[in-house]
């Protein structure tokens, strides 16, 4: 398969790009919801529009009313979300959440998917338990209790967790903290007794929650997939999150790059456009090169994931690490090349820098993924 | 089964039968590369057999048209060919500047007669070519070249000097930029082809910091070149040269595949990897190398269907060569004192250190990294005044 979009994918990209430029822009979404101190961290109206376009269920099966698309298509949407810094529950709900639900029973999907498809509900995913992404270690426990389970523990960095209608929780149902087996995924409803949120605003204005589960009673219907056998599904959800975040990062990096090169073409000092200075030209050209390479790694990983290739796991980590490195360079160079105005809230470039930080951390930073590349390569 | 699946099965079966086992080993050094040419000494029978079998099917230049010695493969088919070669670790049957550089230029600018004549020779590995571009006073500023061809009616008489002529001492023919009009800088250069055995052509190898001499100085003293040995129009050789430089940059970038795209951490670790900081650097390198390999694949896919930006080879060349230099810095660090050995048998005559030094030319030859960045800034980013 060639490493560029098919005609259908290119058409989707055109539609989404135009729509997001009109509706998802920084002023209309990010700044607006930040400045009114919205505690959800995103706008429900835009989420409804996503649903009307079929985007919220694009990864869901056709039998479930979805579009049965893949990670390449989801990545197209995420790249535009990234480029516009749009606060959106798309990644946690439509990419990670729907991937999790696809491993669940008809009944479970029937309970949660219609809300996702209609844009009426959102999902969050709770994996990590500390400040760094360490899905290998899961201590949050769910013990058998009658016909169901009792959930006990804490989850950290649950993006949009407090506003989610259901939280997909990875919990330990047997074994010790670092065991590969013994993991079960649960869909925990918002109103379950014993769930408390420490709802926090992050540097990029997104809302994330540290969630405490204090003897939360869950009936057996909340289990997604197999009891004790959830690791594989969890890995699938995490991979979807990683490649999704990587796609979004390429959008953030590109967005920052575009406004920075535009600035180089308008700002004058010493009687000339600063874009005429070779010192800046070479740095911009190097940055272009890094962004192109990151984008190539991302589409390759997306295709491998969609084709269920055994190489996908390695390439997803390559893509996440590379996208994070390239995007980080883009926002740092962006602020520096903007000079003083790059430090002001009035200019958008600083917003890109903040978003980059958040996304780089989400589902593992470049160091985590480089380590993973080493391990998967056998060293 | 789709047509492409059937094609893949056909290629796979053919390779199984025709690619000798010795040709499925990684290329270790220069001696393992099959360059072809009048005076080429095949390293072993397998190398010869492999080249000849491929040439007979047009597989040395799979995507060239059949009348010119190729197999007429579509972009999708050529990709399958590369993938199937990679799957069994097969070496390229034939490597040459004729395939990578002159061939594409002839396909675009050559006359029908030139195409049939020269391309078939290249495809069969009969003629080895070298490239006469740089001159002592014309490096990055190539267009200032001074080698002059004086018009003598039915031929030119060429005088001047080229430098950094790769393998000129081993080449049979040269494609050469020659000034044919001293009054016009850009539109005063012609693209000439001539035999290196023509009277007046001499070469002198240049000893490099690697101790090897892949490059030569090449001198022209009243060299007679017939008028039918020009590619493209008179005084429009710069167009051909620029087009060809794109292919050269593509080649140096490693986009076509090969070792420089590979991750290295696992190979290094086989001999032990005790330093955690080196391991971390290797992991970060592997991220960049594996991502660049994707870029190589994407670039080729896009180039084949005309979707790549025309200046994209400059970006590829820049990124690929900088990566390769980094690769060899890490290999030297990993090798420790053993990698410093210059002549020992166990290092195959100082292969690690000589290769490391050789890579320093990567970001100079075929356009320096700085020139590549200039081109990207100007043509892709459209920055002002660049």
**Cα A330 to Cα A353: distance, rounded to the nearest angstrom:** 9
Phi, psi angles (nearest 5°) of residue B163:
-140, 160
Show the domains of chain B with their CATH numbers: 3-95 (1.10.540), 129-236 (2.40.110.10), 254-380 (1.20.140.10)
Distance from CA of B59 to the nearest CA of A (A): 21
Chain A CB contacts of B309 under 8 Å are: none
Closest by alpha carbon to A354, among A169, A206, A160, A218?
A206
Neighbours of A280 (CB within 10 A): 20
Burial class (CB in 10 A: 0-12, 13-18, 19+), B368: middle
DSSP conformational letter for A275: G
Q: What is each CA distance from A69 to A58, A72, A168, A234, A250, in whole angstroms? A: 6, 8, 21, 20, 20
The per-residue pLDDT for A84 is 98
Q: What share of chain A is helix, strand, coil (3-state, %, to 5)?
A: 55, 15, 30
Half-sphere exposure for B172 (CA within 13 Å, toward CB): 16
The per-residue pLDDT for B281 is 98
- Check CB contact under 8 Å for B290 and A373: yes
Model confidence at B76: pLDDT above 60:
yes
The pair of structure tokens assigned to A87 is 């606060």
Give the mean pLDDT of chain B: 93
- Per-residue pLDDT of A44-76, as tens digits, reads 999 999 999 999 999 999 999 999 999 999 999
Higher-confidence position of B261 and A218: A218
- Helix B3-18 and helix B45-57: axis angle, to 10°? 150
Phi, psi angles (nearest 5°) of residue A139:
-105, -25
CA B65 to chain centre: 20
Averaged pLDDT for residues A89-99: 98
- Per-residue pLDDT of A289-332, as tens digits, reads 999 999 999 999 999 999 999 999 999 999 999 999 999 999 99
Distance from CA of B274 to the nearest CA of A (A): 11
Quote the CATH superfamily of domain A125-228: Butyryl-CoA Dehydrogenase, subunit A, domain 2 (2.40.110.10)
DSSP string, A92-130: IIIIIIHHHHTTS-HHHHHHHHHHHHHTS--EEEE---S
CA A267 to chain centre: 34
DSSP string, A354-371: HHHHHHHHTT--HHHHHH
Place of tokens 């979805």: A66
- Check CB contact under 8 Å for A3 and B292: no
Model confidence at B78: pLDDT above 60:
yes
Chain A CB contacts of B266 under 8 Å are: 377-379
Query: Which chain A residue is nearest to residue B386, measuring alpha carbons?
Result: A276
Beta bridge partners of B225: B156
Which of B283, B315, B378 to mutate against chain A (most A CBs within 10 Å)? B283
- Check CB contact under 8 Å for A281 and B381: yes
Cross-chain CB nearest to B373 (options A282, A297, A319) = A282
The per-residue pLDDT for B271 is 86
Neighbours of A34 (CB within 10 A): 17
- Check CB contact under 8 Å for A293 and B288: yes
Query: Which chain A residue is nearest to residue B298, measuring alpha carbons?
Result: A3
The per-residue pLDDT for A174 is 97
Model confidence at B311: pLDDT above 90:
yes
Does residue A10 belong to the interface with chain B, where contact is any CB pair within 8 Å?
no
Q: What's the whole-model pTM score? A: 0.91
The pair of structure tokens assigned to B92 is 């390229």
- The secondary element (H helix, E strand) that includes residue B112 is helix B112-114
Structural domain spans, chain A: 7-122, 125-228, 232-377
Distance from CA of B353 to the nearest CA of A (A): 24
The per-residue pLDDT for B386 is 55
The per-residue pLDDT for B245 is 84
Closest by alpha carbon to A279, among B301, B250, B374, B200?
B374
Query: Which chain B residue is nearest to residue A257, measuring alpha carbons?
Result: B381
- Per-residue pLDDT of A183-234, as tens digits, reads 999 999 999 999 999 999 999 999 999 999 999 999 999 999 999 999 999 9
Of A258-267, B27-36, B370-379, the range with the lowest mean pLDDT is B27-36
Residue A148's pLDDT band, with cuts at 50, 70 and 90, is very high
Give the mean pLDDT of chain A: 97
- Check CB contact under 8 Å for B265 and A264: no
Options 1.10.1200.10, 3.40.50.300, 3.30.230.70, 1.20.140.10; CATH of A232-377? 1.20.140.10
The per-residue pLDDT for B256 is 58
User: β-pairing, A123-126 with A166-172?
Assistant: parallel
- Check CB contact under 8 Å for A366 and B287: yes
Distance from CA of B285 to the nearest CA of A (A): 9
Chain B CB contacts of A327 under 8 Å are: none
- Check CB contact under 8 Å for B377 and A281: yes
Chain B CB contacts of A370 under 8 Å are: 280, 283-284, 286-287
**Cα B158 to Cα B148: distance, rounded to the nearest angstrom:** 6
Model confidence at B1: pLDDT above 90:
no
- Per-residue pLDDT of B273-307, as tens digits, reads 999 999 999 999 999 999 999 999 999 899 888 89
**Cα A253 to Cα A249: distance, rounded to the nearest angstrom:** 6
Burial class (CB in 10 A: 0-12, 13-18, 19+), A171: buried
**Cα A13 to Cα A58: distance, rounded to the nearest angstrom:** 14
B192 by DSSP, 3-state: which?
strand
DSSP string, B151-188: E-SSEEEEEEEEEEEETTTT-SEEEEEEES-TT-SGGG
Beta bridge partners of B13: none
Does residue A370 belong to the interface with chain B, where contact is any CB pair within 8 Å?
yes
- Check CB contact under 8 Å for B298 and A289: no
Q: What share of chain B is helix, strand, coil (3-state, %, to 5)?
A: 50, 15, 35
Q: Encode B298-316: b = buried (16+ Cβ within 10 Å), e = exposed.
A: bbbbbbbeeebeebbbbbb
Distance from CA of A153 to the nearest CA of B (A): 33
- The secondary element (H helix, E strand) that includes residue B191 is strand B189-195
- Check CB contact under 8 Å for B373 and A286: yes
Residue B247's pLDDT band, with cuts at 50, 70 and 90, is confident
The per-residue pLDDT for B26 is 82
The pair of structure tokens assigned to B50 is 């492999």
The pair of structure tokens assigned to A152 is 């006990």
Model confidence at B213: pLDDT above 90:
no
- Check CB contact under 8 Å for A315 and B292: no
Measured at the CA of A240, the angle between CA A234 and CA A242, to 5 degrees, comes to 100
Averaged pLDDT for residues B146-169: 96
**Cα B47 to Cα B52: distance, rounded to the nearest angstrom:** 9
Distance from CA of B92 to the nearest CA of A (A): 22
Q: What is each CA distance from B194 to B22, B107, B139, B163, B164, in whole angstroms? A: 35, 18, 22, 17, 18
Q: What is each CA distance from A266 to A25, A281, A286, B337, B383, in whole angstroms? A: 22, 14, 20, 53, 10
Does residue A202 belong to the interface with chain B, where contact is any CB pair within 8 Å?
no
Classify domain A7-122 by CATH number. 1.10.540.10
Distance from CA of B320 to the nearest CA of A (A): 10
Alpha carbon dihedral A340, A341, A343, A346, in 10-degree steps, equals: 160
Q: What is each CA distance from B58 to B11, B38, B337, B381, in whole angstroms? A: 13, 19, 45, 39
Does residue A270 belong to the interface with chain B, where contact is any CB pair within 8 Å?
no
Chain A CB contacts of B79 under 8 Å are: 2
Phi, psi angles (nearest 5°) of residue A268:
-115, 140
**Cα A35 to Cα A152: distance, rounded to the nearest angstrom:** 36
- Per-residue pLDDT of B84-110, as tens digits, reads 998 999 999 999 999 999 999 999 999
- Per-residue pLDDT of A153-177, as tens digits, reads 999 999 999 999 999 999 999 999 9
Model confidence at B258: pLDDT above 70:
no
Higher-confidence position of B245 and B371: B371
**Cα A79 to Cα A92: distance, rounded to the nearest angstrom:** 15
Query: Which chain B residue is nearest to residue A303, measuring alpha carbons?
Result: B294
Beta bridge partners of B182: none
Q: What is each CA distance from A54 to A9, A67, A68, A119, A245, in whole angstroms? A: 14, 7, 11, 9, 20
Region for B315 from its dihedrals, namely left if φ exceeds 0, alpha if ψ lies in -120 to 50, beta otherwise = alpha
- Per-residue pLDDT of A324-366, as tens digits, reads 999 999 999 999 999 999 999 999 999 999 999 999 999 999 9
Averaged pLDDT for residues B120-147: 95
Residue B13's pLDDT band, with cuts at 50, 70 and 90, is very high
Of A257-266, A337-346, B237-246, the range with the lowest mean pLDDT is B237-246
The per-residue pLDDT for A323 is 98
Model confidence at B318: pLDDT above 80:
yes
The per-residue pLDDT for B31 is 81
DSSP string, A204-228: TS-EEEEEEEEEEEE-GGGEES-TT
Chain B CB contacts of A264 under 8 Å are: 383-384
Structural contact between residues B142 and B150, judged by C-beta atoms closer than 8 angstroms: no
The per-residue pLDDT for B27 is 82
Model confidence at B259: pLDDT above 80:
no
- Per-residue pLDDT of A12-28, as tens digits, reads 999 999 999 999 999 99
- Check CB contact under 8 Å for A281 and B386: yes
CA A127 to chain centre: 13
Whether ipTM tops 0.85, in short, is yes
Query: Which chain B residue is nearest to residue A278, measuring alpha carbons?
Result: B386
Handedness of CA A42, A45, A50, A51 (dihedral sign): positive
Residue B346's pLDDT band, with cuts at 50, 70 and 90, is very high
Distance from CA of B80 to the nearest CA of A (A): 10
Q: Encode B128-141: b = buried (16+ Cβ within 10 Å), e = exposed.
A: bbbbbbbbeebbee
């Amino acid at each position: 398969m060639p490493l560029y979009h098919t005609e259908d994918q290119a058409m989707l990209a055109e539609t989404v790009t135009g729509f997001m430029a009109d509706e998802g822009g920084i002023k209309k979404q990010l700044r607006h919801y930040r400045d009114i101190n919205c505690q959800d961290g995103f706008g429900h109206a835009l989420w409804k529009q996503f649903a009307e376009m079929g985007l919220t269920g694009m990864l869901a099966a056709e039998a479930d009313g979805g579009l049965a698309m893949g990670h390449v298509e989801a990545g197209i949407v995420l790249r535009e979300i990234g480029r516009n810094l749009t606060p959106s529950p798309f990644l946690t709900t439509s990419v990670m959440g729907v991937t999790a639900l696809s491993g669940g029973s008809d009944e479970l999907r029937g309970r949660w998917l219609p809300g996702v498809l209609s844009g009426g509900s959102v999902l969050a995913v709770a994996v990590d338990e500390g400040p760094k992404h360490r899905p290998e270690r899961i201590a949050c426990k769910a013990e058998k209790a009658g016909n169901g389970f009792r959930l006990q523990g804490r989850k950290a960095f649950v993006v949009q967790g407090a506003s989610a209608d259901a939280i997909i929780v990875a919990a330990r149902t047997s074994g010790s903290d670092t065991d590969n087996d013994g993991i079960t995924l649960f869909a925990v409803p918002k109103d379950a007794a014993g769930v408390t949120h420490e709802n926090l605003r992050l540097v990029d204005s997104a809302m994330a929650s540290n969630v405490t589960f204090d003897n939360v009673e869950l009936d057996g219907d909340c289990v997604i997939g197999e009891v004790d056998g959830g690791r594989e599904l969890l890995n699938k959800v995490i991979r979807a999150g990683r490649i999704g975040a990587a796609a979004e990062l390429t959008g953030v990096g590109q967005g920052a790059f575009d406004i920075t090169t535009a600035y180089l073409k308008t700002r004058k000092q010493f009687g000339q456009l600063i874009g005429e200075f070779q010192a800046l030209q070479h740095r911009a050209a190097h940055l272009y090169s890094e962004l192109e390479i990151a984008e190539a790694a991302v589409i390759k990983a997306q295709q491998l994931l969609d084709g269920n290739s055994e190489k996908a796991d390695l390439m997803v980590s390559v893509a996440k690490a590379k996208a994070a490195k390239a995007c980080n360079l883009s926002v740092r160079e962006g602020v520096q090349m903007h000079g003083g105005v790059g430090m002001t809230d009035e200019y958008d470039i600083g917003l890109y820098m903040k978003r980059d930080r958040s996304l780089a951390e989400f589902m593992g930073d470049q160091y985590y993924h480089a380590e993973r590349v080493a391990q998967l390569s056998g060293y | 089964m789709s047509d492409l699946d059937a094609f893949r099965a056909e290629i796979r079966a053919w390779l199984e039968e025709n690619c000798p086992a010795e040709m499925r080993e990684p290329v270790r050094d220069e001696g393992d590369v099959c360059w072809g040419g009048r005076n080429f000494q095949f390293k072993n029978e397998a190398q010869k057999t492999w080249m000849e079998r491929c040439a007979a099917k047009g597989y040395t230049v799979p995507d060239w048209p059949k009348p010119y010695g190729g197999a007429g493969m579509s972009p999708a088919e050529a990709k399958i060919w590369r993938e199937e070669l990679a799957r069994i670790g097969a070496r390229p049957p034939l490597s040459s500047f004729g395939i990578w550089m002159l061939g594409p230029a002839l396909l675009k600018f050559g006359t029908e007669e030139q195409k049939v004549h020269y391309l078939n020779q290249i495809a069969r590995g009969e003629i080895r070519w070298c490239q006469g571009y740089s001159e002592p006073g014309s490096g990055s500023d190539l267009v200032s070249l001074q080698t002059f061809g004086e018009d003598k009616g039915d031929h030119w008489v060429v005088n001047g000097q080229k430098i950094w002529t790769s393998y000129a001492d081993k080449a049979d023919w040269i494609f050469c930029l020659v000034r044919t009009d001293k009054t016009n800088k850009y539109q005063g250069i012609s693209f000439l082809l001539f035999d290196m055995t023509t009277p007046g052509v001499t070469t002198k190898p240049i000893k490099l910091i690697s101790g090897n001499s892949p490059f030569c100085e090449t001198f022209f003293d009243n060299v007679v070149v017939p008028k039918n040995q020009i590619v493209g129009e008179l005084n429009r050789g710069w167009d051909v040269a620029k087009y060809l430089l794109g292919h050269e940059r593509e080649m140096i970038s490693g986009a076509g595949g090969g070792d420089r795209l590979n991750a290295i951490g696992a190979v290094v670790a086989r001999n032990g990897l005790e330093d955690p900081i080196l391991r971390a650097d290797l992991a970060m390198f592997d991220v960049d190398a594996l991502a660049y390999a994707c870029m190589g694949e994407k670039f080729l896919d896009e180039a084949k269907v005309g979707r790549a930006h025309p200046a994209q080879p400059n970006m590829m060349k820049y990124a690929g060569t900088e990566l390769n230099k980094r690769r060899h810095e890490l290999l030297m660090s990993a090798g420790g004192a053993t990698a410093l050995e210059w002549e020992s048998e166990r290092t195959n005559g100082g292969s690690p250190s000589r290769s490391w030094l050789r890579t320093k030319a990567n970001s100079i030859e075929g356009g320096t990294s700085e020139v590549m960045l200039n081109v990207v800034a100007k043509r892709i980013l459209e920055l002002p005044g660049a």
